[in-house]
Chain A
Amino acid sequence: MTMQAMIDEWYPVGLISQLDAGGRRTALMGEPILVASDIDGKAKVTGGNGRILPVRLRYGHVWSSLGDPKNELFPIPEADQPGRRFVDVGVVRVRCSPLRAVENFLDIAHFPFVHTDILGAEPHTEVQNYKVEIREDVDEVWATQVKFYQPQAAKSASGGITTEYMYRVPAPTCSVLYKTCPPRPSEWDVITLFVQPLAEDICDVWPWMALFDDETSLTDLIHFQQTIFLQDRSILENQIPRLLPLDPGMEIPTRADLTSIAYRRWLKRHNYTYGAQLVAQ
């Protein structure tokens, strides 16, 4: 187990809206932590030996770290854009590597088989070429010009459309998805996957959204995203091995998997291997 490189990262550990004095007992990378509000109502995260951990409140969530973060929590400019609705989807626990959860989020080829008649449907299974890069200036993985035919792309979509996506990986266990916004074609809907690594092979997943949608009820928006993620969960809990294999040979990617290939390469380059399996192990 190598925690070094990932220990200094920020991770989601709870919803701001659910902070209370009693606190949420949870874990971060194997260490028991308590996420609570103190006497002044401020968020406080306490590590296993009583030490006070750093805290940030952003994007609906409480963020913390076991180490000493060198960088500020990554920016999501859309989180400050007027007119968007911000949706806390709530936690879902999954018995898989936090890295597998992110990789699945970056994948579109599974839509027709796992999110049938919502995000994809046979015979529209082809993945067109798209662009992937590691943006050195911000040190993030980006996939752009990702297009896929979707029967019901969003709660606000009324029929099948070809949806365009952009994916960003700004932190080893977080991804931000930009997606065609049916009611406002000039903007992108933002859907994120924030993953809290409880241990190398189990995680709490906190999806969050920043959408332009004045029509759909908040509950419907939450349920749409929960539906999608719970369809993924039964896949994630049945991948072998549970850890993400970082060395080639164990799994076979194709052109459709360019985002996943770049993600794995970026993880390896930074030694982000908590939740990964290496041949050397």
Chain B
Amino acid sequence: MKLYDYILSPSGYKVRLMAALIGVKLELRPVDFHPGLEHRSPELLSLNPAGSIPILEDGDLILTESSAILVYLAAKAAPKWLAGEKPEEAARVQQWLSFSGRLTASLGAARLHEMLLRPGDIAALQAQGMAALRELEAGLVEQRLRGMRFLAADRPTVADIACFPYVALAPDGGVLLDAYPTIRLWSRALRSLDGFIEMPGIHRLHELKPEPQIEPGEA
């Protein structure tokens, strides 16, 4: 499977993270999004006329939209990351997959503006981002009261992976995460999963490894 990817793209990272968590190997095809704007090149537009990345190629299949790609990877390799049989669980997965698009449009656009100088009404984007974070916090609080640590169940699903990157990278766009204690716990639970990988802006949880005993001169 070939992923057209950009190392700084939170949507590309969703796919890389999902693949890492479920042990799927991806062939990465880096796209020069910045400064080269390669996602708008004829080659990339012929794969995805929307001019967005990531794009997944698997044989004859070409998939765009990161949520669809997450569902594809999970269905192929790790169905327990999809919704189970309970109607409300299935609905919650869909709800948060849809919601993740709003994170991209608000927090993602604020990040592109603040970091890579893309145009946008930054105050409006940040306000929309804050509103989305409040919704997510409220949703996670209610799940926690039901005894569930993740968005749709007491196990992580594609919905969590769809929402996590833009939330974790919100500070890149000038939107602080200090006011959301339950998002913090959820984020930590995801970052502690076996196989979790980072992207720039999300640092390693060094506490997951014991403090190394070092002697001077050994380095």
Contacts and interface: CB of A to CB of B under 8 A. Distances in A.
Interface of A: 15, 17-18, 88-93, 95, 113-114, 116-117, 122-126, 128, 149, 204, 217-220, 222-223, 226-231, 233-234, 237
Given A92-B115, A219-B30, A234-B201, 8 more contacts: A93-B116, A123-B214, A125-B214, A217-B30, A218-B32, A228-B200, A230-B115, A233-B115
Contact of B172 (A117, A149, A233): A233
Contacts of B201: 230-231, 233-234
Contacts of A117: 204
B212 interface: yes
Nearest to A235: B203
B200 A231 contact: yes
Interface in B103-139: 114-117
A15 B35 contact: yes
24 contacts: A15-B35, A18-B35, A90-B34, A91-B116, A113-B203, A113-B204, A114-B203, A116-B203, A122-B212, A123-B218, A126-B217, A128-B219, A217-B30, A218-B32, A219-B38, A220-B30, A222-B32, A223-B7, A226-B200, A227-B7, A228-B200, A231-B203, A233-B172, A234-B201
A219 B34 contact: no
A41 B58 CA distance: 45
Interface centre among B7, B172, B174 (most CB of A within 10 A): B7
A220 to B, nearest CB: 6
A237 B212 contact: no
Main secondary structure of the interface of A (DSSP, over half): mixed
A117 B116 CA distance: 25
Contacts of A229: 200
Contacts of A122: 206, 209, 212, 214
Contact of B35 (A91, A93, A124, A237): A91
A227 B200 contact: yes
Contacts of A114: 203
B46 interface: no
Contacts of B38: 219
Closest 10 CB pairs of A and B: A90-B35, A230-B200, A123-B212, A126-B219, A123-B214, A223-B7, A116-B204, A219-B32, A219-B30, A124-B219
Contacts of A17: 35
Contacts of A233: 115, 172, 200-201
B79 interface: no
Contacts of A93: 114-117
Contacts of B148: none
Nearest to B204: A116
A5 to B, nearest CB: 28
Contacts of B174: 95
B163 to A, nearest CB: 20
Interface in B1-56: 6-8, 30-32, 34-36, 38
A92 B7 contact: no
Contact of B206 (A91, A113, A223, A230): A113
A234 B117 CA distance: 17
Contacts of A218: 32
B9 to A, nearest CB: 11
Contacts of A228: 200
A88 B206 CA distance: 32
Contact of B203 (A92, A125, A234): A234
Contacts of B204: 113, 116-117
Interface string B182-206: 0000000000000000001101101
A226 B34 contact: yes
A234 B172 contact: yes
Contacts of A123: 212-214, 218-219
B194 to A, nearest CB: 17
Contact of A149 (B34, B209, B219): B219
B101 interface: no
Given A125-B214, A125-B219, A126-B214, A219 B31 contact: yes
B108 to A, nearest CB: 15
A117 to B, nearest CB: 8
A21 to B, nearest CB: 18
B205 to A, nearest CB: 10
